[in-house]
Copies of this chain bind each other. A is one copy, B any other.
């Protein structure tokens, strides 16, 4: 797989996360990824929409993989999820981060205007939720509970990302991580 192509996709995913779809121009992508101008339409003949769709799917797979690795640190699903969320919160707080809320901006901007990008975002949110759901299932949460809880965690975390970015503070992420932990504990299946 071409390095140039991969560089374009990765840089695009970062810019989309930070600025959203419409604020991210192809000129900026070419400039900041330091790739040849002529390569863009060579690798992505359908233009910006095709590139954005691929960047979103790339971003989603990266996050899903990272989440699975992170959750493997604890056998107990509640502890695993709690520590995973706290680690993400501190990573955001440290500033070494594209922004948090990896695809929310694109999802909101394009849900009504591009079926292709909407579908990519839907796949991405499933990719975010699945590692959580699997971990809860492995910890003996019933299937329906695991689904509803994983969906709720995904929603609460995405919302907390928005609040933290808006307030320029990791505090909302930290608070929501605590509340999620409390909630999961209150509904944990009895150990046997």
Contact = CB atoms under 8 A, between A and B. Distances in A.
Contacts of A180: 152
Interface stretch (A27-35, A79-87, A159-167): A159-167
Q: How many copies does the complex hold?
A: 2
A158 B152 CA distance: 11
A91 B175 CA distance: 29
Interface residues of A, number: 47
Most chain B CB within a 10 A radius of its CB, from A21, A121, A156: A156
A133 to B, nearest CB: 13
B166 A107 contact: yes
A124 B113 CA distance: 26
Task: Choose among A23, A149, A166, A187 the residue with the greatest number of B CB atoms under 10 Å from its CB.
Answer: A166
